[in-house]
Chain A
Amino acid sequence: MAQAQLPVSGELPQVSGHHPTAWKWYDYFTFNVDHKVIGIQYLVFSFVFYLLGGLMAVVMRTELYTPDADVIDPNLYNALLTNHGTIMIFGWIVPAAIGGFGNFLVPLMIGARDMAFPRLNALAFWMLPPAGLLLLGSFIFGGAQAGWTSYPPLSLITANTAQSMWCLSIILAGTSSILGSVNFVVTMVKMRVPSMPWDKMPLFCWAMMATSILALLSTPVLAIGLILLLFDINFGTSFFKPDAGGNVIIYQHLFWFYSHPAVYLMILPIFGIMSEVIPVHARKPIFGYKAIVGSSMVICMVGLFVWVHHMFTSGTPPWMRMFFTVSTLIVAVPTGVKIFSWTATLWGGKIRYTSAMLFAIGLLIMFVVGGLSGVTLGTAPVDIHMHDTYYVVAHFHYVLFGGSVFGLYAGIYHWFPKMTGRMLNEPLGKVHFLLTLIGANLTFLPMHVLGTQGMPRRVAMYDPQFTQINQICTIGAFVLAFSVIPFLVNVIWSWGWGEKASGNPWRALTLEWTTASPPIIENWHRLPVLTHGPYDYGMNGHDTSPAIATHS
């Protein structure tokens, strides 16, 4: 603001009295209400679950190295399959992208001292550990085995106790997500620094806005689906029991009304990360700020009306197939808009091939493949052949691994210095990137072929004609598992002993870089005032500015 008041001398560097100035390590294990602590809690928690889910995948791929079920019991395979999917979605991508980056970055990016409801925020996080324990504990009872979609009647007749624990776990995680979303919406609407109009809000925040709206509108529907499933399993109701007048298709509608938007919950924040990382490391203003904001909002709205493309083979009437084919193709357009925006941002930029940028570029390539296979699947005539084959598995791993996971890595490499005050090691980061890129393509590209040749998904045994391709996939999975090692070494070593990071090591322009690394408690001594847009690289001389020393 123009009329900046002078501070009363003497009391300037004082953070308001009721907090210490920095958190100790053990604060991260408590019910802490600082959004930065909560963000890191989410990230570390979810990464642990990522490792667990990854371990399950490696066991499954090992099983699939040969056509017979000779490594593990097929029922255990089903349990691993179910929990792998569930953990990767509800235990890794959603909490890491929304809870982790969202909580850490949104207040910093809009110049707020915390989220609107800090205690609610902590509460939302602390719902996740019990949810995770429920999932893991369900293995005592055989583990839920009906797939992450848990369609009845299968989910009604297998491993009842484990399935009920699964339902409760997801309901908990969903509640956490709703509470988190309320917090994000209120924070962004009410707590931006006065000098930040809507059209100067960083794109990551816009992405979080779209994500939160989507979560608010779709999660409750899933909750109802799961509550009814719980009642069917445990209390004798027959909502989804065809022999007693129930209807299994209703479950599918309730499930996909959430779970299609859920794929956007998993990709919109990642799109946000992309829109931050790319301009910083290409030293160029983002191409089409308004188009990116608009496309997030369009995705958020149209994305609510495409869910039946998961149900083309569920006896869906032709008019419905037609309608949802069209809406699905429409929703791919705003996604394409973003791809073009990022490509145009890279075009002619002074690209710095940092690890963060490499993952962002990798994402761009991988996501195009996944988007294209998505469009083919969205077309009902094709999907009727491809549904429930490995082609679908290939599709969603290109968007989820090649998209979401690459994006999370890009985000970690980009904001690690801000979060910890230490730089990550770049050469190790590049090794990590290369292994991940090779591993991912080795694992998931051949699955397109498996699918078109008709290999069904979710099986522990398969026809011997598919052996060779499956072996390639399995080797790819081992490469992926191995690729985590340089990353873990890098994170652990750098966190403790890495090169110290300045407040703004990438010379970025968004507000989180105007405070120390790691930021002080309550983020700034005095709130910043915005004098330029978030992506004004190369404008007003910003690009030529020297690196800035830490000011704490």
Chain B
Amino acid sequence: MTTAPTPPELAIQEELPVDDHEHHDFRMFGLLTFLVSESLMFGALFAVFLIFRGEFPQWPPEETEVELLLPAINTVILVSSSFVIHYGDVAIKKGNVAGLRKWYWVTALMGAIFLAGQAYEYATLGYGLTTNVFANCFYIMTGFHGLHVFVGILLILGVLWRSRVPGHYTAEKHVGVEMAEIYWHFVDIIWIVLFVLIYVLALVN
């Protein structure tokens, strides 16, 4: 063989795209990856709940029944808020910052109402975290979810705070807005599963 040896370094030519030091925005992809992981936290809680449900003759056990009306109202509020927040996204896609702000305010408000409803439920339920294993599960699951709602509200408030600056979000550049929205949908979907497990399955005991 007479081919001249090619040192790896020479074999590697170089390119110079003008912006190659600039970072692209991968935050959305990062968030989605993170949410896959996060959903398994809830997955584990759901599994724990279901195992106990299979073990107990009656679930929820007597004296720790759940009520249905308030959580149902809360569910309606949270699920509708997922549509509301989407209007905000639609608005910013058209470059309408005022619209974005309006819809995000409404969403944050609905989230706050949901949390208030949750707190009211806790206060009126008549049993606490330590009453029995069902109560353990109930408070940990709804509490952990509530924490996520709270974080979601903070994200939305963050978007609202930043959107005060004209031009911060535009029709082309609004990843932050969309991330808050995706997170909110996530919290919403988790709630639906939770609602079915805790409240609806209680009916088919």
- Residues on A facing B (Cβ under 8 Å): 1, 4-7, 16, 113-114, 116-117, 120, 178-179, 181-183, 185-186, 189-191, 216-221, 223-225, 227-228, 231, 235-239, 244-247, 250, 253-254, 257, 503-504, 507-509, 511, 513-514, 522, 524-532, 540-542, 544-546, 548, 551
Q: Is B52 an interface residue, CB under 8 A from the partner?
A: yes
23 example contacts (A-B, Cβ-Cβ < 8 A) are as follows A1-B15, A5-B17, A179-B34, A186-B29, A216-B37, A219-B37, A221-B41, A221-B43, A221-B44, A224-B44, A228-B48, A237-B140, A244-B133, A245-B132, A245-B133, A246-B133, A247-B52, A508-B8, A522-B21, A526-B14, A527-B17, A531-B12, A542-B6
B1 to A, closest residue via Cβ: A541
Assembled-state Cα–Cα distance A49/B21 (Å): 36
CB distance from A102 to the nearest CB of B (A): 16
**Contacts A216-B36, A503-B9, A526-B14; A239 near B48 (Cβ below 8 A):** yes
B166 within 8 A of A: no
By Cβ-Cβ distance, the 5 closest A-B pairs, closest first, are A236-B130, A224-B44, A526-B14, A220-B41, A16-B21
Nearest-neighbour CB distance to chain B for A511, whole angstroms, equals 8
The chain B residue sitting closest to A530, CB to CB, is B12
> A545 vs B9: C-alpha distance in the bound complex, in angstroms?
10
Is B5 within 8 A of A546, CB to CB? yes
On chain A, the residues within 8 Å of B56 by CB distance are 245
A528 to B20, CA, bound (A): 11
Tell me the bound Cα distance from A220 to B36 in angstroms.
Answer: 10
Interface string of B119-162 (1 = CB under 8 A from A): 00000000001101100110010000000000000000000000
Q: How many Å lie between the Cα of A235 and that of B128 in the bound state?
A: 11
Q: A219 vs B38: C-alpha distance in the bound complex, in angstroms?
A: 10
Kindly list chain B residues whose C-beta atoms are within 8 Å of the C-beta of A179: 34
Partner of A545, one of B1, B8, B36: B8
**Residues in A whose Cβ lies below 8 Å from that of B37:** 178, 181-182, 216-217, 219-220
Residue of B nearest to A18 (CB): B21
Give CA–CA (A216, B47) in the complex, Å.
18
Say whether, besides A4-B14, A4-B16, A231-B136, A541 and B129 are in contact (CB < 8 Å): no
Q: Are B9 and A113 in contact (CB under 8 A)?
A: no
Of B30, B43, B133, which one neighbours A239 at CB under 8 angstroms? B133
- Residues of A near B24 (CB, < 8 A) are 190
A531-B11, A531-B13 as given contacts; A541 in contact with B30, CB under 8 Å: no
For this complex, into which size category does the number of interface residues on chain B fall? 35 or more
CB nearest to B4 among chain A residues: A541
Among B9, B47, B48, B51, point to the contact of A548 (Cβ < 8 A): B9
Is there contact, CB below 8 Å, between A548 and B7?
yes
A182 contacts B34, CB within 8 Å? yes
Chain A residues in 8 Å Cβ range of B7: 545-546, 548
Q: A217-B37, A220-B44 are in contact. List 6 more A-B contacts (CB 8 A).
A: A4-B15, A225-B44, A236-B130, A239-B136, A541-B3, A546-B7
Closest to A511 in B: B12
Could you tell me which residues of chain B, from 24 to 40, have a CB within 8 Å of some CB in chain A?
Answer: 24, 26-27, 29-30, 33-34, 36-38, 40
Contacts of B21 in A (CB 8 A): 16, 113, 522
Partner of A254, one of B4, B14, B26, B44: B44
User: How far does the alpha carbon of A182 sit from the alpha carbon of B31 in the complex, in Å?
Assistant: 8
| A117 touching B43, Cβ below 8 Å | no
CB neighbours (8 Å) of B45 from chain A are 224
Asked whether B15 lies within 8 Å of A504 as measured between CB atoms, the reply is no
Q: Which residues of B contact A216 (CB under 8 A)?
A: 33, 36-37, 40
Give Cα A246–Cα B130 distance, bound, in whole angstroms: 12
CB of B55 within 8 Å of the partner chain: yes
Least distance between B151 CB and chain A CB atoms (Å): 14
- A528, B6: Cβ atoms under 8 Å? no
Contact partner, B5, options A117, A190, A530, A545, Cβ 8 Å: A545
Of the listed residues B3, B16, B132, B137, the one surrounded by the most CB atoms of chain A closer than 10 A to its CB is B16
Do A526 and B133 contact each other (CB < 8 Å), given the known contacts A16-B21, A250-B51?
no
Q: How far is the CA of A206 from the CA of B41 in the complex (A)?
A: 26
Q: How far is the CA of A536 from the CA of B158 in the complex (A)?
A: 50
Do residues B34 and A178 form an inter-chain contact, with CB atoms below 8 A? yes
- Residue in B closest to A528 when the chains form the complex, CB atoms: B12
B2, chain A: closest CB distance, angstroms: 10
Query: A514 and B30: CB pair below 8 A?
Result: no
Chain B residues contacting A181 (CB-CB under 8 Å) are 33, 37
Tell me the minimal C-beta distance from A253 to chain B in angstroms.
8
Tell me which residues across on chain B come within 8 A of A182, comparing CB atoms.
30, 33-34, 37
Q: Evaluate contact between B15 and A526: CB separation under 8 angstroms.
A: yes
